Structure 1
Amino acid sequence: MAWCSAKQKPKYKNLVGKSRAREFPHKELIFRLLTALLRTLIFRGSIIMANKEGHMNMKNMSAKNMENNESNMSHMDHDMTETDHSQMNMNHGDMDMAGADMMMHGGSMMHMGNLKVKFWVSVVLAIPVLLLAPIMGLNVSILSFSSPLIVGIIIVLFDTALYFYGGMPFLKGAKAEIQNKSPEMMTLVTLGISVSYFYSLYAFIANNFLNPTNHIMDFSFELATLILIMLLGHWIEMNALMGAGNALQKMAALLPKTAHLVTDNGETKEVPVSDLKVGQAFQVRSGESIPADGVITAGESTVNEALVTGESAAVTKNVGDKVIGGTTNNNGTLTVKISGTGDSSYLSQVMKMVQNAQQAKSKAEDKADLVAKYLFYAALGVGIIAFFAWLPQGLATAMTIMVTVFVIACPHALGLAIPLVVSRSTTIGAQNGLLVRNRQAIEASQHVSHVLLDKTGTLTEGKFTVNALIPNDGIDETTLLSRLAALEINSTHPLAQAIITEAQAKNIEVVAAEKSQNIPGVGISGNVDGTDYMIVNGNYLTKQGIRFDEAAADKWAAKGNSVSFLLQGTQVQGMVAEGDTIKAGAKELISGLQRRGITPVMLTGDNPKAAEHVANLLGLTEFHAGLLPDDKQKIIADYQAKGNHVIMVGDGVNDAPSLAAADIGIAIGAGTDVAIDSADVVLVKSEPSDILHFLDLAKITNRKMVQNLWWGAGYNVVAIPLAAGVLSFIGIILDPAVGAAVMAMSTIIVAINAMGLTGEKIKNV
């Protein structure tokens, strides 16, 4: 190896210090070693500035160029199998978190703990190289080695260990990329360290056995520092990336390990949670975590659901209420009948939904992956061109420039730009009761012009009360209510439930009607005591030409009531007016959408007067009333035909076709029933504000994705030509070590930017 002596004046000077190849007192050994390590591993500001003398002298510059190959920061090893953190699976686009702390880059996995071990072992292996390499300027005689051959053998042995141990993640990753016919990041890194290693091996053989005329400098020092910088950078990167995985791990850790199973004789025994089965009952005491989903059969308490649904306030629970496994029972003792455990539990469904969303790819991500793929060929081409362009300056200089180009190019930053942000976003959403099933909904949200809102359950509570019973001549209120209840007794419709509740409150004995049948868009029919009856709306009566008290109906409808009629043949027996309560946050939802430049539209099957009353209270300017089930889909299609992008918000059952037809379908108030295939987004709670929170989350997510894409693209546009030496005419050439450090930082910046997305920001956009 040749290097600059103290008497030689290199034509290119390192901005961070003078030529290091000089003698120094033995007591400075440790200080010099630590200084060199810190300068190399953390960030050597190794930009080389040309002096006034002009061209590079290869003999004078050999030591400087020995610094110029400290690059490479790639991506993780297949061989790691521990599972003590949260799994992250990132194949330049995908991110899969399923409970085991791993990460994939270009087909190469590395467990967080083993990455740490690999780095520190590589540091130990690199120390002899750093001590013995002539570029360090150490007096090797103090180490009892005077033979250049012995020193060279030691360096080669430790370089070989570093290459095959510290460099193995890169080698395996490159192999996987080539096998997949998709060479990217790992292949570039492997090219860089392989050129350094094999050229150093050739230099050792030539200098010691072939007796060349001129001493050939090697890249052994650069190889060691390249691998260390790469591993260190990815260690830092892994720490930055673990946030989203840890969040899912925290959700999984909410379930206790054991439960108090209630036996057939009423006693309790402690069993593993994995032994619980649907239909069994368990007891949960004050301060304990609820082990499974279920329905309360005895007891009363408040439950903290913050870590599951994002609901900060404790929720009061009574007999008949549902509880979610993983939530905390604050006070009191509850007996719960299990409705879901294992794969059917709420937590399991949420985690699976988040993982599926994170694994899917959007159009923007496909484009970013395509650009990242071609970036490899661009970097490879530029590196080869730069090699031949710099070859007249000497082989070592040309190789240094080529290696710098290889290691500074970072398709990985582009590949991770979107999945990192989406991973963080979907996890935060899940923690706040916003479940993104289709990640394309996040990108589509920025184009939304109209939000269509189903009135019942979205803008109103969906809990009706009977406000008026108006019988016609020849029938009293009790008879009217009894017949209405007989027809509705088996229905789950909110209007039906209000009638049943009213009948129970008045102690009316209800016998279910025979031949009961739902009539879509109209009501229900059945036989009560041998007579056929129907419960219908005003539209049906008008279309059939059946007379009814329109003045009375309009009076109650104008107050926001849904008015239904009991019909026998063609005779109206009476009417019932049922009112719903507007949700507390409904008005804020409407105003919030309007502030965002989005037009809210209310859809309802109610009569126009009732719909107008609700619209006026909420400040709505657009609404559609008297709708049949199929009408909602037609309205959505009409808006879309005019070039509008539409969100449909409703429940996941009755509005399933409409949710599927919209650009984005949002199911609201799903509770624990989150497996709604028709919806792109599932809102666990029935809070109107969560619609705004989703839009805010999507807005921040899109902003972060754009920032990362600009960074990933802009970085490579600037870095690759710079590494190729386009600024050499003003005396600036990048050291490969700087290339490696900057490449690592580009990925870390993308990760840190993604981690800047927090749950608190959702509500402050």
Structure 2
Amino acid sequence: MADDEVRTARAHHGARGHHEHHGHHSDADGHDHGSHTGHGHQGHGADHDHGDHVQVFRRLFWIMLLLGIPTVAFSPMFGSLLGYEVSGWGLWVAPVLGTVMYVWGGQPFLSGGYDEVRAKQPGMMLLISLGITVAFVASWGSTVGVLGHDLEFWWELALLIVIMLLGHWVEMRSLAQTSSALDSLAALLPDEAERVEGDAVVAVAPAELRVDDVVVIRPGGSVPADGVVVQGAASMDESMITGESRTVRRAEGDPVVAGTVATDSGIRVRVGAVGEDTALAGIRKLVADAQNSSSRAQRLADRAAAWLFWFALGAALITAVVWTIVGTPDEAVIRVITVLVIACPHALGLAIPLVVSIATERAARGGVLIKDRLALESMRTVDVVLFDKTGTLTKGTPAVTAVDPGGRMTVDRVLALAAAAESDSEHPLAKAIVSAAAQRELEIPPATDFSSSPAVGVQATVEAQTIQVGGPYLLEQEGVRELGIADRWRAEGAIILHVLVDGDVVGALRLVDEVRPESRRAVDSLHDRGLEVVMITGDADAVAASVSDELGIDRYFAGVRPQDKAATVSRLQEEGRRVAMVGDGVNDAPALAQADVGLAIGAGTDVAIASAGVVLASDDPRALVSVRALSEAAYRKMVQNLWWAGGYNLIAVPLAAGVLAPIGVVMPMSVGAILMSLSTVVVAANAQLLRRLDLRPDTVTDSAPHRQEAT
């Protein structure tokens, strides 16, 4: 996500929520991270981050590619394959450049192979090291005449190093892109803070704040750092932290959290946490954890490489014994070296990294940030999707859904007067009322003498009349009774505001958290894919039932306290279900972590994002369907590539060993090498088919699942 997109997301989310200054009281209550040793990156600069690895492997790949072209061209065996002869000084080009490639370009694999030997966990790096070392020694033996010309593999050595470096570069780049995207989440904090310095207020970057600094938070502004209120009081929009939409009153001595918004008045805050103690530092740690997470498919590739190592070694030993008995020592050496070189997994080195890279790229274009590859793979096995209601299935912002004029005025007149009184307020409820009047194209009369009273409501003079809009405290203060419709609206969990003209009630407004128009299509699409959809909310049962009925949700959990959300996930898992949880607040974080797959809405809190394996950049719940489609397609590509890469070796190695020699069929080394390189092309081409996957929510949800998965 670009920084400006992230800021826009936080700005939208920061403005969310219906609040208490109108005095409404609702019934609602308030991985396995592998070391990645299978690729031996620690052997090539363990202290560098993935950005450094990208530079290392990219530079090494291009240098080795430049050296590899003349190495292949001047390789005598390659020349004989294409029908030309290498002679004279040209005979020494391949040995010299090949040696440089082995020592320099092969260093990451040799050191990685050494690490695998020390760890007693043979895998991909050791198999590559074995292949290039055998090819290097045999080629020099052939060049100086100790071994036959059939064992000159300079071109195969060059191709092997270049292809393996390409695979590692691709993998490191995909991880680094994930890192940079996660780092950009830091932009969710405000761009600058206003620090009190003596009698002056100075704008500084949040990073420059220190513990005990005092900062000014203006109405509508967000808190730049965790701290304590030292002056003033305000209704704080903490929806980005709690996920719930009501404001919380914060006065002197109360704690406030970075990213929360003062909705109605300014406050001063003493900073209490900076540096490593902040949530941002925690996110950076999770970035590192996410980078080091190795997926099931990657571990499968590492296991396949380990089995191939022992398979190749066993085949080589058997080949040596058998050919020494039935043939000559020279033939035995040729067969053994051919087996060991062919066994080196060109395609296996690219099988997973290419798919992961393309999948994460496609996901990013579809507004999905893959933090943990394991989460992406697990998504295909999920059978229950658990949605948090507020801000996920609903917009998290109030909307006027009904107006009762009480018999004295028209609906339009009541709404116009309420909008006039609220027009100078920045409160989300006020904006909802003004927006409703604008949608009806009503003429809003001008207002003067505007005033706002937290927890009561607003007052203004409109057309020489005193107009008041507020909740129960306003009615109590004025000594008037609410309209009869209020009881039914309250039972439905709605926010109720009454409109008073010169102290008399003339109407009531019903406001509710508006359901996203995309939510119904997301639920329908998940049902089409055979998934059960469940909703969880802290709101009252009536509210939950209303939203559940509207969206066609299978079951819901209402009145769930924030601390009990993770227990609800556990209960579903105890039923034998695999659960994907979608949420956006701090109270969702434990549930996101508990779920088999945690998906955070990108406009949500940093803590929720940090607890999730997948981040949805938009608020569109249909993006979840995109993740499911991508998971299914990517996993299939990984398995196909592993079968092709590993299966080729299972066939090619015995042929290279000469199992069909009794009937006169012996695979020449050159043919085996060419076929091995072709297998790499097949794996790469198969991975590229993922690019055909369209992850835009409207196309994924409008199309049948099988058409959305790359074939």
TM over 0.5: yes
- State, as a whole percentage, how many aligned pairs show the same letter: 33
TM-superposition CA deviations, 1:489-523 (whole Å, max 9, x none):
xxx99779869999x99975224469xxxxxxxxx
Query: 1:612-651 alignment to 2 at 5 Å?
Result: 612-651=545-584
Change (3 A) 1:563 1:414: farther
- Deviation, 1:599, is 0.7
Indicate the SS of the match to 1:435: strand
User: Does the Cα contact within 8 Å between 1:455 and 1:603 map onto a contact in 2?
Assistant: yes
**AA aligned opposite 1:509:** S
- Deviation, 1:719, is 1.9
Indicate the SS of the match to 2:624: helix
TM-superposition CA deviations, 1:441-492 (whole Å, max 9, x none):
11221221111112221122111035579999xxxxxxxxxxxxxxxxxxx9
- Deviation, 1:687, is 0.9
TM-superposition CA deviations, 1:338-384 (whole Å, max 9, x none):
xxxxx9xxxx9999988864542124432431331242232122112
Task: Verify: 1:659 aligned to 2:592, yes or no.
Answer: yes
Query: 1:346-425 alignment to 2 at 5 Å?
Result: 357=290, 359-391=292-324, 392-411=326-345, 413-414=347-348, 416-425=350-359
Q: 1:676 aligns with which of 609, 629, 639?
A: 609
Counterpart residue number, 2:369: 435
Q: 2:71 aligns with which of 122, 137, 160?
A: 122
**AA aligned opposite 2:96:** A
For residues 85 and 624 of structure 2, what CA distance do their matches in structure 1 show?
Answer: 66
User: Does the Cα contact within 8 Å between 1:90 and 1:103 map onto a contact in 2?
Assistant: no
Task: Verify: 1:464 aligned to 2:394, yes or no.
Answer: no
For residues 705 and 501 of structure 1, what CA distance do their matches in structure 2 show?
Answer: 50
- Deviation, 1:644, is 0.8
Instruction: Determine which structure has the larger helix proportion and give its number.
Output: 2
Query: 1:314-329 alignment to 2 at 5 Å?
Result: none
Task: Verify: 1:167 aligned to 2:78, yes or no.
Answer: no
Query: 1:70-89 alignment to 2 at 5 Å?
Result: none
Choose 396-405 or 229-238, whichever is displaced more: 229-238
Q: 1:197 aligns with which of 131, 139, 151?
A: 139
Indicate the SS of the match to 1:687: coil
Counterpart residue number, 1:583: 516
User: Does the Cα contact within 8 Å between 1:604 and 1:627 map onto a contact in 2?
Assistant: yes
Counterpart residue number, 1:426: 360
For residues 171 and 143 of structure 2, what CA distance do their matches in structure 1 show?
Answer: 37
Query: 1:231-250 alignment to 2 at 5 Å?
Result: none
Change (3 A) 1:648 1:137: closer
Indicate the SS of the match to 2:51: coil
User: Does the Cα contact within 8 Å between 2:75 and 2:94 map onto a contact in 1?
Assistant: no
- Deviation, 1:138, is 6.9
User: Does the Cα contact within 8 Å between 2:338 and 2:656 map onto a contact in 1?
Assistant: yes
User: Does the Cα contact within 8 Å between 1:428 and 1:759 map onto a contact in 2?
Assistant: no
User: Does the Cα contact within 8 Å between 2:388 and 2:537 map onto a contact in 1?
Assistant: yes
For residues 447 and 577 of structure 2, what CA distance do their matches in structure 1 show?
Answer: 47
Indicate the SS of the match to 2:396: coil
Indicate the SS of the match to 1:410: coil
Query: 1:438-587 alignment to 2 at 5 Å?
Result: 438-465=372-399, 509-512=451-454, 552-555=486-489, 557-558=491-492, 561=494, 577-587=510-520
For residues 716 and 443 of structure 1, what CA distance do their matches in structure 2 show?
Answer: 26
Q: TM-score, normalised by structure 2?
A: 0.59
For residues 566 and 174 of structure 2, what CA distance do their matches in structure 1 show?
Answer: 37
Choose 407-416 or 241-250, whichever is displaced more: 241-250
For residues 658 and 228 of structure 1, what CA distance do their matches in structure 2 show?
Answer: 50
For residues 557 and 225 of structure 1, what CA distance do their matches in structure 2 show?
Answer: 78
For residues 279 and 137 of structure 1, what CA distance do their matches in structure 2 show?
Answer: 65
**AA aligned opposite 1:98:** G
Indicate the SS of the match to 2:299: helix
**AA aligned opposite 1:456:** T
Q: 1:187 aligns with which of 129, 134, 143?
A: 129
Counterpart residue number, 1:757: 690
Counterpart residue number, 1:734: 667
Change (3 A) 1:99 1:610: same
User: Does the Cα contact within 8 Å between 1:128 and 1:158 map onto a contact in 2?
Assistant: no
> Unmatched 5+ residue regions in structure 2?
1-35, 43-48, 185-190, 193-203, 209-220, 223-275, 407-425, 437-445, 457-470, 499-506, 701-707
For residues 654 and 249 of structure 1, what CA distance do their matches in structure 2 show?
Answer: 25
- Deviation, 1:103, is 6.7
Task: Verify: 1:223 aligned to 2:153, yes or no.
Answer: yes
Change (3 A) 1:171 1:244: closer
User: Does the Cα contact within 8 Å between 1:470 and 1:576 map onto a contact in 2?
Assistant: yes
- Deviation, 1:592, is 0.4
- Deviation, 1:431, is 3.4
For residues 375 and 81 of structure 2, what CA distance do their matches in structure 1 show?
Answer: 58
Indicate the SS of the match to 1:733: coil
TM-superposition CA deviations, 1:519-554 (whole Å, max 9, x none):
xxxxxxx9999x99xxxxxxxxxxxxxxx9998433
- Deviation, 1:679, is 1.8
User: Does the Cα contact within 8 Å between 2:380 and 2:632 map onto a contact in 1?
Assistant: yes
Change (3 A) 1:701 1:564: farther
For residues 561 and 351 of structure 2, what CA distance do their matches in structure 1 show?
Answer: 44
Change (3 A) 1:451 1:226: closer
Indicate the SS of the match to 2:534: strand
TM-superposition CA deviations, 1:390-410 (whole Å, max 9, x none):
123223322221111111113
- Deviation, 1:432, is 3.0
User: Does the Cα contact within 8 Å between 1:233 and 1:741 map onto a contact in 2?
Assistant: no
Larger Rg: 1
For residues 562 and 741 of structure 1, what CA distance do their matches in structure 2 show?
Answer: 72
User: Does the Cα contact within 8 Å between 1:354 and 1:435 map onto a contact in 2?
Assistant: no
Counterpart residue number, 2:461: none
User: Does the Cα contact within 8 Å between 1:454 and 1:603 map onto a contact in 2?
Assistant: yes
Task: Verify: 1:704 aligned to 2:637, yes or no.
Answer: yes
For residues 680 and 81 of structure 2, what CA distance do their matches in structure 1 show?
Answer: 33
For residues 559 and 289 of structure 2, what CA distance do their matches in structure 1 show?
Answer: 38
Change (3 A) 1:130 1:657: closer
- Deviation, 1:238, is 8.5
Change (3 A) 1:393 1:714: same
For residues 514 and 82 of structure 2, what CA distance do their matches in structure 1 show?
Answer: 80
For residues 596 and 580 of structure 1, what CA distance do their matches in structure 2 show?
Answer: 28
Q: TM-score, normalised by structure 1?
A: 0.56
> Unmatched 5+ residue regions in structure 1?
1-88, 144-150, 205-216, 255-260, 263-275, 281-293, 296-342, 473-491, 515-525, 533-547, 566-573
For residues 38 and 663 of structure 2, what CA distance do their matches in structure 1 show?
Answer: 40
Aligned alpha-carbon RMSD (Å) = 5.4
For residues 136 and 465 of structure 1, what CA distance do their matches in structure 2 show?
Answer: 78
Change (3 A) 1:173 1:728: same
Indicate the SS of the match to 1:761: coil
User: Does the Cα contact within 8 Å between 1:451 and 1:598 map onto a contact in 2?
Assistant: yes
Aligned length: 516
- Deviation, 1:202, is 6.6
Indicate the SS of the match to 1:762: coil
Counterpart residue number, 1:92: 39
For residues 279 and 163 of structure 1, what CA distance do their matches in structure 2 show?
Answer: 50
Change (3 A) 1:669 1:176: closer
Indicate the SS of the match to 2:395: coil
